[in-house]
Structure 1
């Protein structure tokens, strides 16, 4: 018959550091929470990318992209609307509920699909597919590196953000210069910068969980984290398409 009063059952084992068993249980729970948090981010991000791709293919396949994306007012409205949503989500996250941010994210992914439909008018479907899977493989590897590395990548953040600003300025400048050399340079640097941002953002989102777990903001952080990784993926894909895409 078991002796329920025997303290041997609960006595700390020889050689075990104080509270080690409790720390191990806490760490297991903590790791499970972290995995759930990151999996939620990846699920949203992947769903957003797939939604963008489906909308883009349908819009281009219907012939509407060729009719609408002609450079008029409606074209610029479609192109600039996703940027407006990103700005609103980034700077107004505290004002919006988690449900509102979710709807804004899906709306953003849909509008991005309309905006990106023009790639099906420029590049062959096979080269778009090859570039997509190449981007997916690179993204997975870089994100895994960012998640598992012990190296602190926070120091690269400011440098990479400055690189993004430089890409925007160079791209706008090339609208006037129309320089093929500058276009290739921008595409090459764009791939490198957003590859770095993929690893950096993954580590940043992992570290954010340490601060935000159990808070009311944790749900919003999932949506905003998915948005960050979505932007890394889509931008890396577009810049890589400049190298791998075969024109119609």
Structure 2
């Protein structure tokens, strides 16, 4: 009798574990789909700005058919994703899942304005090539973060400090305009955001809980997609510095 009871409990435990695994896979798939859709939307916005003169004139000053600088709207558009990101950080606890998702779509759409600059700096062929290189690196790093048994939590504080260091160094280099400093920043940027892809993937996996309600899971998936999207975009930009061909 006791043996049958043990087997029943063991069977129940296996079934629960399988259900949690299925839920986790569905959650991660939702995260990746949101991130990929965000990249597509950003790319569409960037292409529209680059290829439709009427739209391009809203964001760029052109002289003789060549882009010479940003308009006021272009400057605002460049900084607006950062404003949306800060607003989301303050609102995330009290906002509903639909509001958080709306802010995500707004962020990635506005990010397309900034990405359109890459189309002015680098050739289309090199952007496509580096995009696929970034996608392959992202897939490998995210898979490592998902499957590794080693805890990556110790990397978190170090990587976040690295991000802050990159931001400060980039601001300083706006005034210095040092090629060597930009080379170092880009090299460190590749390492930091590669690490963040693996770290964030493991963090997203560990934060998943089958006991969460659908509203909380939806919000969690959106925020996770935002983290991975930011990591992908930054890795792409830093890799373009090394691998992209300039116009």
Q: What secondary structure, in the 3-state scheme, does the structure 2 residue paired with 1:118 have?
A: helix
| Cα distance in 1, alignment partners of residues 187 and 116 from structure 2 | 22
Q: Distance in 2 between matches of 1:41 and 1:145?
A: 16
Among 48, 54, 68, the residue aligned to 2:38 = 48
Q: Which runs of 5+ in 1 are unaligned?
A: 1-6
Match of 1:3 in 2: none
Aligned to 2:234: 235
Using a 3 Å threshold, how does the CA distance of structure 1 residues 186 and 65 change in structure 2: closer, same or farther? farther
Q: Is the contact between residue 100 and residue 222 of structure 2 (CA under 8 Å) also seen in structure 1?
A: yes
Which residue in the other structure is 1:121 paired with?
A: 120
Matches within 5 A, 1:26-37: 26-37=16-27
Aligned to 1:183: 182
Look up the match of 2:52: 62
Query: TM-score, normalised to structure 1's length?
Result: 0.90
CA contact (8 A) 1:41 1:226 kept: yes
TM-score if structure 2 supplies the norm length? 0.91
Task: For residues 49-101 of structure 1, give each alpha carbon's deviation from its aligned partner in whole angstroms, at most 9, with x where no partner exists.
Answer: 11111111121111343662323432221011101111122221122111111
Q: Aligned equivalents of 1:119 and 1:144: distance in 2?
A: 28
Which residue number in structure 2 is paired with residue 12 of structure 1? 4
Classify the secondary structure of the residue corresponding to 1:170: helix
> Per residue, is there more helix in 1 or in 2?
2
Separation (CA, whole Å) in 1 of partners of 2:210 and 2:120 = 45
Task: Give the distance between the partners of 1:197 and 1:52, measured in 2 at CA.
Answer: 21
Distance 2:148 2:202 in 1: 8
* Distance verdict in 2 for CA 1:41–1:212, change over 3 Å: farther
CA distance in 1, matches of 2:177, 2:30: 42
Q: Give CA deviations for 1:149-191 in whole Å, capped at 9, x if unaligned.
A: 0000011000000000000011000001110000011011101
What are the ranges of 5 or more consecutive residues in structure 2 without an aligned counterpart? 61-68
Contact 2:145/2:198 (<8 A) preserved: yes
More displaced 10-residue stretch of structure 1: 82-91 or 207-216:
207-216
Query: In the alignment, what sits opposite 2:65?
Result: none
